[in-house]
Amino acid sequence: MNNMLINALGQLPELYTELDANDPLRNFRECFCIPIDKSGKQSVYLSGNSLGLQPKTARKYIEAELDDWARLGVEGHLHARHPWLPYHEFVTESLARLVGAKPLEVVAMNSLTVNLHLLMVSFYRPTKERYKIVIEKGAFPSDQYAVESQLKFHGFDPSDGLIELGPRDGEDRLRTGDILETIDREGNSIAMILLGGVNYYTGQAFDLRSITEAGHRKGCIVGFDLAHAAGNLVLQLHDWDVDFAAWCSYKYLNAGPGGIAGAFVHERHSLSFDLPRFAGWWGHDKDTRFLMGPRFIPLAGAEGWQLSNPPIFQLAALRASLEIFDEATMPMLREKSVRLSGYLEQLLKHINTDRIVIITPIESEERGCQLSIRVKNADKGLFEAVTGRGVFADWREPDVIRVAPVPLYNSFEDVARFAQILSECLNVRLDR
């Protein structure tokens, strides 16, 4: 182990112990099931950006619905302890607080890419003159597939209709000024801007407010994929005047694999019933839904984009997690997140090697809790060595290890243990 890291880690027992002792959110860790490593210790779980940990109450909440199903059968729709018919409404206010919205503007439904497509049906309305879509180069592949298929569906060639925002030569991240300049320059031909709130690969968080304002100045619709932002950043979708957004719930929102997703539609579109949409029974006016009439009458707000009744067990798991978020609050979680990621950044900088480099922005306002570590020569062996030591991290081709210390359940000790393990694995490989 190099001397710089020995000196840094020599202070860690006292430092992380002090940081954890003074953490007002430290007890929330006890609300989650943490995997156990081969030695019988709690693992270093830094994969909340891929799958959040299970809230301990999720089992009880799901079992309650199983019990009501067994006892009540179909009557559970109205007489379960949490009736199934309005069950999605039990998470509405929590979701609204989470993304900075009004309850009218959010709904839990479907999965992320399904919601993006449903929203684009309404909000991507291309014309001969204004048809282009702005997306980040290197966006999550599903977003790329979705927007390209929308362009093709409307008869446009993606090679012409897609504007991909890329970093400057020799840089890893997009500059906000370059994004805004592109919107200003190309705005008269842009129908829609669809960016991620946080880039899944680099961990860069975008200035959603400035992007929305720039898009609206040019008459563009602005939407966001918040898969890596919801539950990670403090969002103010209503105040920022975002047109639409969608997010998943299995990452930072801890709703389990395949968890039900969420959608946001700004209040000013809540009564825009002239917008085309793919209609389904659950989006129909609640007062007349069970009259089974032939004419679709959409609900006001985001609920009007629903298609089918939602999965109750998934909603139960989401409700368990959102109750924890309500208690912890996003501002408090964000404050801890900045300290956790900053602590990790400083530890990584003390590892005296040229084999790794952080490609996530160093400015706290330009990142969430994820740090992306580029490995020289795309050597996946380092990742495999680290995971073999009980660390849950994530490898993304071609050359990045992603780690995400999540403020709800990760501790400063977790961060210190990861830095220790990474340093030791680097030295093992360097000694060969």
Q: Is residue 77 part of a domain?
A: no
- Domain-terminating residue out of 265, 300, 326: 326
Q: Is residue 69 part of a domain?
A: no
- Domain-terminating residue out of 298, 326, 354: 326
- The contacts of residue 71 (CB under 8 Å, 6+ apart) are none
Joined together, the tokens standing for residue 239 give 């105040």
Handedness of CA 228, 230, 235, 236 (dihedral sign): positive
pLDDT score at 12: 53
pLDDT tier for residue 15 given thresholds of 50, 70 and 90: confident
Report if pTM > 0.85: yes
| DSSP string over 137-166 | TT--HHHHHHHHHHHHHTT--HHHHEEEE-
Query: Does 99 share its domain with 134?
Result: yes
Q: Is the pLDDT of residue 334 over 50?
A: yes
Q: Is residue 53 part of a domain?
A: no
Q: Is the pLDDT of residue 10 over 90?
A: no
- For the chain, percent of residues with pLDDT exceeding 70: 96
Alpha-carbon gap, residue 57 to 158, rounded angstroms? 46
pLDDT in tens, 314-330: 999 999 999 999 999 99
- The contacts of residue 261 (CB under 8 Å, 6+ apart) are 108, 109, 110, 111, 112, 114, 115, 246, 247, 248, 249
Q: What CATH number is associated with residue 136?
A: 3.40.640.10
pLDDT in tens, 29-60: 999 999 998 889 999 999 999 999 999 999 99
Q: Is residue 205 part of a domain?
A: yes
406 φ/ψ sector (left φ>0, alpha ψ -120 to 50, else beta): beta
pLDDT score at 217: 98
pLDDT in tens, 60-81: 999 999 999 999 999 999 999 9
pLDDT score at 9: 47
pLDDT score at 14: 61
Please indicate whether residue 269 or residue 12 has the higher confidence score (pLDDT).
269
pLDDT score at 352: 83
Number of domains, the chain: 2
8 φ/ψ sector (left φ>0, alpha ψ -120 to 50, else beta): alpha
Q: Are 260 and 108 in contact (CB under 8 A)?
A: yes
- Domain-terminating residue out of 281, 296, 326: 326
pLDDT score at 302: 98
Q: Is residue 48 part of a domain?
A: no
pLDDT in tens, 104-145: 999 999 999 999 999 999 999 999 999 999 999 989 999 999
Average pLDDT, the chain: 94
Query: Does 317 share its domain with 337?
Result: no
Query: Does 297 share its domain with 338?
Result: no
Alpha-carbon gap, residue 203 to 186, rounded angstroms? 26
Q: Is residue 314 part of a domain?
A: yes
Alpha-carbon gap, residue 322 to 98, rounded angstroms? 9
Burial class (CB in 10 A: 0-12, 13-18, 19+), 296: middle
User: Residue 235's closest CA among 259, 267, 205, 214?
Assistant: 205
Alpha-carbon gap, residue 125 to 106, rounded angstroms? 22
Alpha-carbon gap, residue 334 to 321, rounded angstroms? 17
Query: Does 167 share its domain with 316?
Result: yes
User: Residue 138's closest CA among 198, 93, 57?
Assistant: 198
pLDDT in tens, 339-395: 999 999 999 998 888 899 999 999 999 999 999 999 998 889 999 999 999 999 999
Q: Are 252 and 406 in contact (CB under 8 A)?
A: yes
Instruction: Report the pLDDT averaged over residues 2-17.
Output: 54
Q: Is the pLDDT of residue 309 over 50?
A: yes
Q: Is the pLDDT of residue 431 over 50?
A: no
Query: Does 304 share its domain with 355?
Result: no
Instruction: Report the pLDDT averaged over residues 198-213.
Output: 98
- Residue located via tokens 């964000």: 334
Instruction: Report the pLDDT averaged over residues 158-165.
Output: 97
Query: Does 232 share its domain with 120?
Result: yes
Instruction: Report the pLDDT averaged over residues 249-262.
Output: 98
pLDDT tier for residue 428 given thresholds of 50, 70 and 90: very low
Query: Does 311 share its domain with 335?
Result: no
Domain that holds residue 356: 3-23+330-430
- Find the helix or strand (DSSP H, E) in which 335 lies: helix 330-349
pLDDT score at 11: 59
Alpha-carbon gap, residue 372 to 401, rounded angstroms? 6
Instruction: Report the pLDDT averaged over residues 83-108.
Output: 98
Query: Does 233 share its domain with 152?
Result: yes
- Beta strands, E only, 239-326: 244-247, 262-265
State whether residue 44 is helix, strand or coil.
Answer: strand
Query: Does 291 share its domain with 162?
Result: yes
Q: Is the pLDDT of residue 236 over 50?
A: yes
Cross-strand pairs, 133? 162, 192
Q: What CATH number is associated with residue 416?
A: 3.90.1150.10
- For the chain, percent of residues with pLDDT exceeding 90: 92
Burial class (CB in 10 A: 0-12, 13-18, 19+), 130: middle
Instruction: Report the pLDDT averaged over residues 190-218.
Output: 98
- The contacts of residue 263 (CB under 8 Å, 6+ apart) are 106, 107, 109, 110, 115, 118, 119, 244, 245, 246, 247, 302, 305
Q: Is residue 389 part of a domain?
A: yes
Query: Does 227 share its domain with 94?
Result: yes
Q: Is residue 47 part of a domain?
A: no
pLDDT score at 1: 32
Alpha-carbon gap, residue 403 to 364, rounded angstroms? 16
Q: Are 80 and 72 in contact (CB under 8 A)?
A: yes
pLDDT score at 94: 98
Q: Is the pLDDT of residue 8 over 80?
A: no
Joined together, the tokens standing for residue 138 give 């290197």
pLDDT tier for residue 2 given thresholds of 50, 70 and 90: very low
Query: Does 151 share its domain with 218?
Result: yes
Query: Does 189 share its domain with 251?
Result: yes
Instruction: Report the pLDDT averaged over residues 254-275.
Output: 97
Joined together, the tokens standing for residue 379 give 């050597």
